[in-house]
Structure 1
Amino acid sequence: MPDVNQAALDFLLTRRSRPAKTLKGPGPDRAALLPILTAAARTPDHGKLEPWRFIVLEGAAMQRMAQEIRRAGVRLGKDEADIVKAAQAYETSPLCVAVVEVQKPSDKIPPIEQTYSAGAACLALLNAALASGWGANWLSGWASHDRDFLSEALGLAEHESLAGLIHIGTEGATPPERPRPDLGAITTWVEE
């Protein structure tokens, strides 16, 4: 039998994201955030390409992002309720890490595997924040797919996209447990 890291397994079996609207200050300072980013950077990256990077948004940058969301929402003709909901994530949570997918040329690693790696970096960052005792949530939303918003608000280059936004802060309320997938319905066992 392999050695079991029971504490890590227990954490993974009980982990629960915290809605961004329930996050409040303080958020992690740079010293507290560095181990979280370090854990996220240990994500499998399919050929050591590191097809992702991090942008840490804090302080006034969070309020600026809320304003950028509002401008993008008006430009895109979004419903006012959608705009308010998207902006509130930046107005209420103290810190956000944008995980940027950076496609890199490779003869061995196809683009889709680089996309998967960027998604894995999001989950690793989320889990590291939760394991560190912070409340955290992985968001995307309509603005995450708007090229003008990505270039204007985050300075992303044309070959970059947004894999996710990990909001991190102090947990304001513990959310109730939610239904989980039925393993019997989503698992196939192949023996031959």
Structure 2
Amino acid sequence: MDALDMLLNRRSMAKLTEPAPQGQVLENIIQAGLRAPDHGSLTPWRFVIAEGDGLDKLSAIFAEAEVKLGSDDVVINKAKNAPKRAPMIITVVATVKPHEKVPALEQHLSAGCAVQAMQMAAMVQGFQGIWRSGSWIFNDNVKNAFHLAPDDQIVGFLYLGSPGMKPMDVPKRNSQDFVSYL
């Protein structure tokens, strides 16, 4: 798959199975994330990989967050099972560094670019993924579990694994609906 074909046909895949990326393939994924646009060379990211027992820890973090919110048992059980949808999850954190020319928002966006680059690197190497966010990225209990500083922000959970289904067709969009010129 060439790069343009991959970008034009990218689809997230919610059903992922073993194996997860390992070794040099995983290192390539991480290195792709480290090449995200980075104004000021601040490297405003941190990647936390969960697999095996780490997925159980992430499950406990999500479930505890829902318990503290007063969620019902259905929501708590859904939270417990969320990390079991893939053999690996990389939590991407924007680690904001004070800088007079690079505001926190720009550093958050840079970390978001890292997630996208990592997902694309997984795809080009034969793996699949889905970038999930939701309320947990803003949840104080989840943030505390990842030891975030006040300006830091989880930008997403990148679920990775082998394709567990055939990807859905890519919807065709008319670029004219989204583009204007000055």
Query: 2-side partners of 1:135 and 1:12: how far apart?
Result: 13
What CA RMSD, in Å, does the superposition of the two structures yield over aligned residues? 1.8
Q: Is this contact kept in 1: 2:40–2:102, CA < 8 A?
A: yes
Report the residue type matching 1:87 in the other structure: K
1:18-97 equivalence runs, <5 A: 18-19=13-14, 22-97=15-90
1:180 and 1:121 map into 2 onto residues whose CA distance is 25
CA contact (8 A) 2:96 2:107 kept: yes
Q: Residues 44 and 96 of structure 2 are in contact (CA less than 8 Å); yes or no, is this contact kept in structure 1? A: yes
Corresponding residue of 1:16: 11
Check whether the contact 1:45–1:117 (CA below 8 A) recurs between aligned residues: yes
Question: Is the CA contact 2:10–2:170 (under 8 Å) kept in the aligned structure 1?
Answer: no
Question: For the structure 1 residues 85 and 105, does the alpha-carbon distance in structure 2 shift closer, same or farther, using more than 3 Å as the test?
Answer: same
Q: How many residues align?
A: 182
Structure 1 179/86 Cα, relative in aligned 2: closer, same or farther at 3 Å? farther
Kindly provide the amino acid, as one letter, of the partner of residue 134 in structure 1.
Answer: F
Q: Percent identity?
A: 34
Q: How does 1:114-153 map to 2 (within 5 A)?
A: 114-152=107-145
TM-score (norm 1): 0.86
Q: CA deviation at 1:150?
A: 1.6
CA distance in 2, matches of 1:27, 1:176: 21
- Structure 2: which 5+ residue stretches go unaligned? none
**Structure 1 partner of 2:161:** 169
The CA distance in 2 between the partners of 1:185 and 1:132, in whole Å, is 33
Distance in 2, matches of 1:81 and 1:107, equals 46
Per-residue Cα deviation, 1:116-174 (whole angstroms, up to 9, x for no partner) = 1111111111111111111101001212211122212x232333210111010111101
Q: Where in structure 2 are the equivalents of 1:93-104 lying within 5 Å?
A: 93-104=86-97
- Structure 1 segments, 4+ long, off by >2 Å, are 77-89, 154-159, 178-182
Asked if 2 retains the 8 angstrom alpha-carbon contact of 1:23 and 1:94, the reply is: yes
Deviation, 1:47, is 1.2
Q: Does 1:184 align with 2:179?
A: no
**Equivalent residue runs for 1:102-113 within 5 Å:** 102-113=95-106
Unaligned 5+ segments in structure 1 are: 1-5
Contact 1:86 1:141 in 2 (8 A): no
CA contact (8 A) 2:119 2:128 kept: no
Structure 1 counterpart SS, 2:161 = strand
Structure 1 residues 188, 85: CA separation in 2 closer, same or farther (over 3 Å shift)? farther
One-letter identity of the residue aligned with 2:167: P
